[in-house]
A and B are shown apart, each in its own frame.
Chain A
Amino acid sequence: MLIQQSIIHFIEEKTHCPLIDLTDNLLGTLKSFDFMLLMLELEEKFNLKLPFEQALATNLRQIGEFISWVELHHES
């Protein structure tokens, strides 16, 4: 839940949009520069190692899918 909150908060701050649709395309919503910032912030905050090259794989295009992917790495 914390991860979801962090990601949504980050996107809200960057896009100035209070309502984030989890089915939206992640890179259509965030600039590539902000996406890299988000990845680094998540790694630091949750002490994670995220395989970034996987992050843009076809099944991670939606914000919701990205959240689940990060949570999965947190649990493991």
Chain B
Amino acid sequence: MKVDNAGKLKTKTITHSKLTLIKQKTSSVLIKLLVRALMTLTRERRKKIITKIGKTILRFAKKTRNRAINNISKAMPELSIKEATQLAFDAYGNCAFGLAESFWLSQVEPDIFCDEETLQILQSGTGACIATMHIGCYEAVPLAVAKFAKPSVTLTNIPDFLEDAIDFYSDVNITAINKNSANAFSELLTRAGNNAYISLHCDLYANQTEVSFFGQKTKAPAGVALLAKMTKNPLLLAYAVYQDDGQVQVFFETLKDERSDEQMSEPKNEQSVEQVMAKIYQRFEKIIRQYPSQWYWSYNRWKN
């Protein structure tokens, strides 16, 4: 008797992809229902619930919890283990809310702060590359950009079951490019060439350029600096943090080249990508020290 293995494999693959599709659809519907239910509550109530859920999740996620506590202890050795643990829980709860707010961005009205020079860049319409971080309300930076300057573009890492989330971005005039899509990079480049304001989260680990972060050597993504160099667009730094009353504040800064005019007139003396990223990371560190309970400490940030 002959067994049609190829046929069996094909049927198995089809069943598997059907199952995946069903899983994705179910997850998508559940998330939508959950968001809809949360939307019936006040933002303050939502914050309380999501922060609590975040803290509870961390209680059960041993690996994530230990990583956060380790990272905090490495970065701020002056803290006791008790203080580091408390900070890990507070930060995880706050970040859960910051992330969840991506689902109702149209309800987020951030206060925006910047100096005159940065304001001119944002209003010029000629585009900029913006280095941002996973602190406070994660997507408030592209949201603030969309209010000031258009088009506002960001790169996101959306899981398949949440692809509908793109709607939440387009509702507030943010173009979200899915990092996982095949043409993500070419789309990003094209947008950059069309005077877009591109916000890129660059506080995660990536094997691209060496930086010093909280006194330790590690590596960082350098895409934002490279993109700024390629497009000759200004490079900004921005971050969004929560105030005690829940209000989101977004701060924009221009990353100035502090070399003398004489040094800058020489093209060969242009700041290298490493130097630019080092500067961004120095600033990131200061911001995190200022708002330690709003940064996401659970990444494997110092993996090398």
Contact = CB atoms under 8 A, between A and B. Distances in A.
Interface of A: 27, 32-33, 35-37, 39-40, 51-53, 55-56
A35 B227 CA distance: 11
Interface string B159-191: 000000000000000000000000001100110
Nearest to B226: A36
B185 A52 contact: no
A37 B230 CA distance: 9
Contact of A53 (B185, B194, B222, B223): B194
B32 interface: no
Interface of B: 185-186, 189-190, 192-194, 206, 208, 221-223, 226-227, 229-231, 273
B103 to A, nearest CB: 28
Contacts of B208: 33
B222 A52 contact: no
B189 A56 contact: yes
B192 A53 contact: yes
A27 B181 CA distance: 13
Contacts of B223: 32-33, 36
B190 A56 contact: yes
Given A33-B208, A33-B222, A33-B223, A56 B185 contact: yes
A36 B208 CA distance: 12
Q: Which 5 A-B pairs have the closest CB atoms?
A: A53-B193, A56-B186, A32-B185, A36-B226, A52-B230
Nearest to B267: A44
Contacts of A35: 185
Contact of B193 (A33, A40, A52): A52
A68 B148 CA distance: 41
A36 B186 contact: no
Given A53-B194, A56-B186, A39 B222 contact: no
Nearest to B206: A33
A40 B189 CA distance: 14
Contact of B229 (A27, A32, A40, A56): A40
B198 to A, nearest CB: 13
Nearest to A53: B193
A35 B229 CA distance: 13
A39 B232 CA distance: 13
Point out which of B194, B221, B273 has the most chain A C-beta atoms below 10 A from its C-beta: B273
A53 B226 contact: no
B189 A27 contact: no
Contacts of A56: 185-186, 189-190
Point out which of B189, B193, B208, B227 has the most chain A C-beta atoms below 10 A from its C-beta: B189
A53 B229 contact: no
A36 B227 contact: yes
Nearest to B188: A32
B185 A27 contact: yes
A11 B221 CA distance: 20
12 contacts: A27-B186, A33-B206, A33-B208, A36-B226, A52-B192, A52-B230, A53-B192, A53-B193, A53-B194, A56-B185, A56-B189, A56-B190
Nearest to B207: A33
A40 B273 CA distance: 11
A37 B231 contact: no
A37 B190 CA distance: 17
B230 A36 contact: yes
